[in-house]
Amino acid sequence: MSSIKHFLIVDDSRLTRMIIAKIVSEHYQQWQISHAHDAQSAVEMVKSQSFDFISLDHNMPDVTGLTILPDIQHHQPNAHIGVFTANIQRVMRQRVASHGVSFYPKPINEAMVLRFIGEAN
């Protein structure tokens, strides 16, 4: 995966954004990484920019990740999207699957992020 990609990290936790950004930038130095700290800014970003990968948190203060997921999918039909969440209940996994996106349980690690990227191939 040598071409330059654009990766959007949507998470209210600065820590999680830093962890994902560090892992992605270590493996793909040329990729562009953007951050959204809440659902509203994420929606604004997907309306105005193009992304190849989007990691989406669920439990955020303003609106949940799954609430904005249809909007994101509408504006970014070609993006590979994964929900990265601490809510690991079966019902949440089922909801995520029903949207046709991947589920990743926090805490986030390197293997998880690389698997998410690899799924797009």
91: enclosing H helix or E strand: helix 90-98
| Integer Cα distance of 121 and 118 in angstroms | 6
Q: Toward other proteins, which CB reaches closer, 26 or 119?
A: 26
CB of 78 to other proteins, least distance (A): 29
In the complex, minimum distance from the CB of residue 117 to other proteins, in angstroms, rounded to a whole number: 18
Are 31 and 51 a contacting pair, CB within 8 Å? no
Q: Report the site for other proteins in 19-38 (rule: CB under 8 A).
A: 19, 22
Instruction: List the one residue out of 58, 57, 75 whose CA is nearest residue 20.
Output: 57
- Which of 47, 49, 70, 88 lies at the binding interface for other proteins (CB under 8 A)? 88
Of 2-10, 28-36, 79-87, 96-104: span binding other proteins (CB under 8 A): 79-87
Nearer to other proteins, 48 or 91 (CB): 91
- For the bound state, the minimum distance from the C-beta of residue 19 to other proteins, rounded and expressed in Å, comes to 5
DSSP string, 39-77: HHHHHHHHHHS--SEEEE-S--SSS-HHHHHHHHHHH-T
Strand partners, 7: 33, 53
Task: Based on the shown chain and the rule CB under 8 A, indicate whether residue 1 belongs to the binding site for other proteins.
Answer: no
Q: Which residues bind other proteins (CB under 8 A)?
A: 12-16, 18-19, 22, 59-61, 85-92, 105-107
